[in-house]
Amino acid sequence: MDNCRLIELTSHGDNRGSLIALEKEHDVPFDIKRVFYIYDTKRGTPRGQHANKKSEQMLICVSGSCRVKVDNGKGMQEVYELNTPEQALYTGTMLWREMYDFSGGCVLMVIASEYYNPEEYIRDYDKYIELVNGGGI
């Protein structure tokens, strides 16, 4: 998938512990407008299940692990396992995302290129497929 990829993050550490810094244009390929995190997700409960019209995102599992299914609406799906804070999943616009299989204590941080706007979300999968395949936005 062209607009979805794993990004390796640089960890700096010594005997005191580790640190990862995220900088615009170096680690994050867009202007950061919003950061949020998902935590305390009940076992068996998926999150996401939507696409964003304009928002690019980076997902980082800062603690624990989860899986992310990404669907481009044109027959291509990929599943990524996020299980280290040293790796981010970049997702571009108009990709259907579902996060699931959260481990106990999982904290999934999401960095977004857009401010929250409910009109920007596509929450119906059938409508998403229609839009991606020529139904217009």
For residues 61 and 69, what is the distance between their CA atoms, to the nearest angstrom? 14
Residue corresponding to tokens 């990404």: 70
Of 5, 50, 67, 69, the catalytic one is 50
For residues 61 and 82, what is the distance between their CA atoms, to the nearest angstrom? 6
For residues 68 and 102, what is the distance between their CA atoms, to the nearest angstrom? 10
Angle 79-82-86 from CA coordinates, rounded to 5°? 140
| Residue 12 known to be catalytic | no
CB atoms within 10 A of CB 137: 9
Active site residues: 50
